[in-house]
Chain A
Amino acid sequence: MELGPYLILASLEGAVTAAVLALTAVGLSLVFGVMRVVNIAHGEFFMLGAVIAWWIAHSMGGHPALGFAVALVVAPLVVGAIAVAADMTILKRLDYDPERTIVATIGLLYIIQQLTLMTYGPEARPVEAPFNTRLAIPWFENGENGWQMIWPWGLGTTSYKLAVIGAAMTVLLGVWVLMKRTRIGLVMRATQTDREMALAFGIPVERIYALVFGLGAALAALAAVLIVPIQQAHYLMGGDPLLLSFIVVIIGGLGSLPGTVLAAILIGLSDGIISVFFSPTLAKILATLLVGLVLVFKPGGLTGSSGK
Chain B
Amino acid sequence: MLQLDKINSGYGRAQILRDLSLTVESGEILCLLGRNGAGKTTTMKTIMGLLPLMSGQITLDGQDVGQLPPHEVPRRGIGYVPQGRRLFTGLSVAQNLEIGLRTRKSGQDTLEEVLTLFPRLRERYRQRAETLSGGEQQMLATARALCLRPKVLLLDEPTEGLQPSMIEAIRQVIVQMRATGVAVLLVEQRVDAVLSVADRVAFIENGQGGAVVPAETLRQDHSIVERYIGV
Contact = CB atoms under 8 A, between A and B. Distances in A.
B82 A197 contact: yes
A178 to B, nearest CB: 15
Interface in A186-222: 186-187, 189-190, 193-194, 196-205
B88 A194 contact: yes
A186 B82 contact: no
Given A200-B50, A201-B148, A186 B98 contact: yes
B103 A186 contact: no
B190 interface: no
Nearest to A200: B80
Interface stretch (B68-76, B172-180, B200-208): B68-76
A35 B98 CA distance: 22
B23 interface: no
Contacts of A199: 48-50, 70-71
Interface string B121-163: 0000000000000000000000010001000000000000000
A193 B89 contact: yes
Interface residues of A, number: 17
A252 B102 CA distance: 32
Given A186-B95, A186-B98, A197-B82, A202 B71 contact: yes
B163 to A, nearest CB: 25
Contacts of B86: 194, 196-197
Contacts of B89: 193
Interface size on B, as a range, is: 20 to 34
A28 B90 CA distance: 20
A193 B99 contact: no
A97 to B, nearest CB: 12
Contacts, number: 60
Contacts of B72: 202
A189 B148 contact: no
Contacts of B71: 198-199, 202-205
A202 B104 CA distance: 8
Contacts of B48: 199-200
A202 B90 contact: no
Contacts of B75: 202
A189 B91 contact: yes
Contacts of A189: 88, 90-91
Contacts of B80: 200
A201 B69 CA distance: 12
Nearest to B75: A202
Nearest to A208: B71
A189 B49 CA distance: 22
Given A186-B95, A186-B98, A187-B99, A201 B144 contact: yes
Contact of B91 (A193, A196, A203): A193
B10 interface: no
Identify which of A183, A189, A197 gathers the most chain B CB atoms within 10 Å of its CB. Answer: A197
Contacts of B104: 202
B209 interface: no
Contacts of B34: none
B90 to A, nearest CB: 6
A305 B82 CA distance: 25
A202 B106 CA distance: 13
Interface string B84-102: 0010111100010011101
Contacts of A200: 48, 50, 70, 73-74, 80, 82
A200 B82 CA distance: 10
Contacts of B69: 204
A136 B14 CA distance: 70
B102 A202 contact: yes
Contacts of A186: 91, 95, 98-99
5 contacts: A186-B95, A199-B48, A199-B71, A200-B70, A201-B100
Interface of B: 48-50, 69-75, 80, 82, 86, 88-91, 95, 98-100, 102-104, 144, 148
Given A200-B80, A201-B144, 11 more contacts: A186-B95, A190-B95, A190-B99, A194-B86, A194-B88, A200-B73, A202-B71, A202-B74, A202-B148, A203-B99, A204-B71
